[in-house]
């Protein structure tokens, strides 16, 4: 007998929010503003800690703001999912939201599907490469507090990289659930492969059109009939 579904682990980018919003709006904004933001907020505790962590990842160096900016921008170009980089990006985005220079984006089927799954008794979680801070801000700016309240918890790369099976095993332990009772929704094949290796159920959400995949595929969330 198969394990009943109890929880859904949802990727933010490409599943709840358009990938283009990340690549064409958020990432360029962070790249443009990152250096000046670090200089202006260098004495803020959260920025200090992010820069210290950046230095530790480089082998324990104390980085000047200009050095940190250069390194972080290089990581961005490389697509590196470093935790301090993702935190600083989230801070830059929040500043833009507060100034009215940025508005969130959420696929139109997300709110209804999340509410239906929660009403069915399913536990909902987000696992994103963006920091937990950024996840919450992006969702809050794109939806409502009521929708935010549907999520039980959030996970980011401080737990582990999303292409590593061990990260998903750790999530199972934290949730105290069998792996087979957790479904991962993602648009990324490598992440889905890692989750499947860890024993999770998987579905690839392919909003940009048909794809070849080693997983079940859905064009959107509205087409999914998930229930307990």
Residue 137 covered by a domain: yes
What one-character DSSP code corresponds to residue 44? S
Residue 226 covered by a domain: no
Do 68 and 178 sit in the same domain of this protein?
Answer: no
Quick one: tokens of 163?
């292409």
Residue 225 covered by a domain: no
Give me the phi and psi of 140, to 5 degrees please. Answer: -60, -40
Do 27 and 59 sit in the same domain of this protein?
Answer: yes
Do 150 and 83 sit in the same domain of this protein?
Answer: no
Number of domains in the chain: 2
Domain CATH code at residue 53:
1.10.720
Do 210 and 116 sit in the same domain of this protein?
Answer: yes
Residue 148 has pLDDT above 90, yes or no: no
Do 151 and 50 sit in the same domain of this protein?
Answer: no
DSSP tally for the chain: helices H, then strands E: 10, 6
Say which residues have a Cβ less than 8 Å from residue 26's Cβ, sequence separation at least 6.
Answer: 89, 93, 102
pLDDT the model gives residue 145:
65
Q: Parallel, antiparallel, or unpaired: how do β-strands 182-186 and 123-127 relate? A: unpaired
Look at residues 72, 98, 124 and tell me which one is the last residue of a structural domain: 98
Give the residue from 11, 1, 7, 3 showing the smallest Cα distance to 128: 11
6-55 tens-digit pLDDT:
999 999 999 999 999 989 999 999 999 999 999 999 889 999 998 888 88
pLDDT the model gives residue 190:
96
Residue 173 covered by a domain: yes
pLDDT the model gives residue 1:
39
Look at residues 70, 98, 126 and tell me which one is the last residue of a structural domain: 98
pTM of the model: 0.87
Do 83 and 161 sit in the same domain of this protein?
Answer: no
Give the residue from 20, 64, 21, 59 showing the smallest Cα distance to 42: 64
Radius of gyration over every alpha carbon of the chain, rounded to an integer in angstroms: 18
Do 14 and 63 sit in the same domain of this protein?
Answer: no
Do 111 and 189 sit in the same domain of this protein?
Answer: yes
Residue 80 covered by a domain: yes
Domain housing 11: 7-18+106-218
149-187 tens-digit pLDDT:
899 999 998 898 999 999 999 999 999 999 999 999 999
Do 168 and 156 sit in the same domain of this protein?
Answer: yes
Residue 227 covered by a domain: no
Domain CATH code at residue 161:
3.40.50.1000
């Amino acid at each position: 007998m198969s394990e009943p579904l109890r929880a859904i682990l949802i990727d933010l980018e490409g599943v709840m929010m358009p990938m283009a919003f990340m690549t064409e709006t958020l990432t360029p904004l962070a790249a443009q503003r990152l250096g000046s933001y670090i200089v202006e907020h260098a004495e803020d505790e959260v920025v200090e800690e992010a820069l210290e962590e950046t230095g530790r990842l480089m082998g324990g160096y104390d980085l000047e703001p200009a050095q940190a900016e250069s390194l972080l921008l290089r990581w961005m170009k490389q697509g590196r999912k470093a935790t301090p980089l993702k935190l600083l990006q989230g801070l830059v985005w929040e500043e833009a939201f507060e100034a009215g220079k940025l508005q969130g984006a959420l696929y139109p089927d997300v709110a209804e599907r999340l509410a239906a799954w929660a009403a069915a008794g399913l536990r909902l979680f987000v696992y994103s490469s963006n920091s937990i801070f950024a996840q919450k801000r992006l969702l809050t700016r794109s939806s409502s507090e009521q929708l935010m309240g549907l999520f039980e918890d959030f996970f980011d790369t401080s737990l582990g990289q999303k292409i590593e099976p061990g990260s998903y095993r750790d999530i199972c332990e934290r949730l105290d659930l069998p792996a087979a009772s957790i479904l991962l929704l993602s648009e990324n094949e490598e992440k889905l492969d890692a989750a499947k290796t860890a024993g999770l159920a998987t579905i690839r959400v392919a909003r940009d059109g048909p794809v070849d995949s080693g997983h079940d595929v859905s064009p959107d969330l509205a087409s999914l009939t998930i229930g307990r």
